Amino acid sequence: MAISPVITGYYRYTDIWFEWHQALPNPDDRGPLKAVLAHDALVHPDHPLRRKDVDGTLQNYETRLLFSSAQVEYLRYWLHAMGLTKEPISIPYSDCLLTDSNLRHVSPVVYKTGGELKSALKKIEKNNKRLKGANPLLNTRRDLFERVRSYWASKRGVWCALDFEAWDRDHTLLTEFGWSLIRWQDDEEIEEQGHLIVKEHRYYTNTYVPNHGEHFKFGESQIVTRADFKQRIQDLISSLSENGPVYLVFHDNNQDIKYLRSKMVDAQLPELTFLLPDATPSEGMFIIDTSDLFAALEGESGHNRRSLERVCRHLQIPTEYLHNAGNDAHHTLQALTAMASGDPLDIQREKRWPNRTDTANSINGSHVGAGVKVQFQAWEDEDDFSDQEGLFASYSGYNLKTGELRTPPTNTNDNDDTKTTENAAAKISS
């Protein structure tokens, strides 16, 4: 006798809520099913499915709330066990089941109230309309963002932010190296960080970039010889793979990867992968760039990249003495953590910057093709309104708790040390 394979997957939330009860042959079963699927019931602490719903992205980049097939199976048997149905109700039509081949990725999402759940459904529908015909680059970034969230939630491997500083008159002459990492042991988060200064290059003075090498804020800097500098970095890279998959985190990675491969470091890197697999990997070394993640979060479909200072400002991460390699690595990992540990992309964006996406191209209020680009105020974003580093760096235009617009700070300092990534003379490391 042939045994049919068991196929698992996901059902669209809307299919389960609107269609499942209507397909039941026994009218007496419809009321109990609708009741247990009600928005307020689903978020109640005693609900049988009170764990985590799932957020998924279809192959066409549309985001949907989903129920797993395991949740659906459990629910039908629970209704019968509680005496609410005479027999276990039939499962939904198999053609409604979405398998892994239909989905780009899935990730858990939790709602605390029925109102929050209903609001999320409306926002998802609106965002899907706005994303119709979206730039492929934006879709790729959005896909990257959700995969990183999924990897982070698995609590596997090590996430290590790296940053180099070089003398701005000779970029082959490295002066500093900083790292900041997070790994998990017995489900506990462990942090490590450090900052190295090259002894022989300690007194080289920058012309275009601030000299903040002596101002590491998250530990004690170590002054090492060129030889020790090289060996310490090589040993760090080698040790990372002991913890499973390695995610090397950069902010605008191009220059830092060149430094890792330079003669002064000569790190023995395994094959570096920029393309992230569908499922959480068990091994390998992957490149994660926080400038790409933030571009996805703010809905940037072009090639503009925010500086680390601006990303931290918009994420409400206080910064001090940027262009110190240790500080930059620390803040890069903070930015990664803030985005990767947060809600799904569209929900997170709306919580951070409520009602601020671009609706300039809305058609009859439908928002079709309007895009999801966050519209920052001039005093949040332009160089003329730049915050003085270390004083107003944690400032953000919106209060996340109240949603109120704040008055911009007054600043007469025209020295913005993080102008643009295009300014090669002033940009050693972001």
Tokens of residue 391, six digits: 């004083």
Give me the helices (H) in 225-324, please.
226-240, 254-261, 290-298, 308-314
Residue 5 within any structural domain of the chain: no
The verdict on residue 401 lying in a domain is no
Same domain, yes or no: 218 and 112 = no
Q: Are residues 55 and 190 in the same domain?
A: no
Q: For the chain, how many structural domains are there in total?
A: 2
Please spell the DSSP secondary structure of 373-389, one letter per residue: -B---HHHHSGGGPPPT
Q: What is the pLDDT of residues 63-105, one digit of tens each?
A: 778 888 888 888 998 999 999 998 999 888 777 888 766 776 6
Output the tens digit of pLDDT for each of the chain's 430 residues.
455 556 778 888 888 888 898 889 999 999 999 898 888 888 888 888 876 566 666 655 667 788 888 888 889 989 999 999 989 998 887 778 887 667 766 767 777 788 878 887 877 777 677 666 667 888 889 999 999 999 999 999 999 999 999 999 999 999 999 999 999 988 899 999 999 999 999 999 999 999 999 999 999 999 999 999 999 999 999 999 887 899 999 998 989 999 999 999 999 888 889 989 888 999 999 999 999 999 999 999 888 889 999 999 999 999 999 999 999 999 999 999 999 999 889 889 999 999 888 654 443 444 444 578 998 887 787 643 433 333 333 334 434 333 344 444 443 333 333 333 333 333 333 3
> Based on the domain organization, do 202 and 266 belong to the same domain?
yes
Residues 166 and 288 in one domain: yes
Domain co-membership, 236 together with 337:
yes
Based on the domain organization, do 197 and 90 belong to the same domain? no
User: What CATH number has the domain bearing residue 273?
Assistant: 3.30.420.10
* End position of a domain, from candidates 96, 130, 164: 130
- Ramachandran area for residue 10 (φ above 0: left; ψ -120 to 50: alpha; else beta): beta
The answer on 110 and 166 residing in a single domain is no
**What's residue 303's pLDDT?**
86
Q: What is the pLDDT of residue 423?
A: 36
In this structure, is residue 403 part of a structural domain? no
Q: Are residues 102 and 173 in the same domain?
A: no
Cα–Cα distance measured from residue 127 to residue 349, given in angstroms and rounded to the nearest whole number: 11
Residues 242 and 208 placed together within one structural domain of the fold: yes
One domain, residues 169 and 108:
no
Domain ranges, residue 319:
154-385
Look at residue 51 and tell me if it is in a domain.
Answer: yes
Indicate whether 93 belongs to any domain. yes
